Amino acid sequence: MLRIITIIAAALVATVAAAAALGQSASTPILRGTVGPGFTISLTKGGKKVRTLRAGIYTITVRDRAASHNFTLERETKPKIEKHVTSTAFIGTKSMKVTLKKGEWKYYCSVHESTMHGSFVVK
């Protein structure tokens, strides 16, 4: 009887561990953007500057620290995709889910695009 209880307990532990592992792999990766307060803009994942990403669904959280800037995310490869995460005059934090498709992407402040921009590739 003790042997049966041990086997059932081990199976239960394995099931819970497998469910937890599936839950972690299914979670949405988070990208963090920052714009302002000066003429700065950045996009990171896990504290590192984004240079390449895999295609998929991401949550982007942008901390906008200046009313004179905004944060726009754009796919340069056709067909063009453009997402305005924050608007000019907004100060605070906003999050949204985005589907990043293969291609070249950029993020920028549309008011100061020539000086406030970055780019990455989605594979």
Coil, strand or helix at 8: helix
Q: In 10 A of CB 84, how many CB atoms?
A: 15
> Quick check: 26 pLDDT over 80?
no
Q: How confident is the model at residue 4 (pLDDT cuts 50, 70, 90)?
A: low
Q: In angstroms, how far is CA 61 from the centroid of its own chain? A: 7
Cα dist from 25 to 71, 87, 91, whole Å: 28, 32, 33
Give the 3-state secondary structure of residue 121: strand
Q: What is the pTM of this model?
A: 0.77
All domains of the chain in start order, with CATH: 28-122 (2.60.40.420)
CB of 98 closer than 8 Å to CB of 115: no
Give the model confidence (pLDDT) of 54-111 as tens digits. 999 999 999 999 999 999 999 998 889 999 999 999 999 999 999 999 999 999 999 9
Residue 10: per-residue pLDDT:
53
Which residue has tokens 């490869």? 77
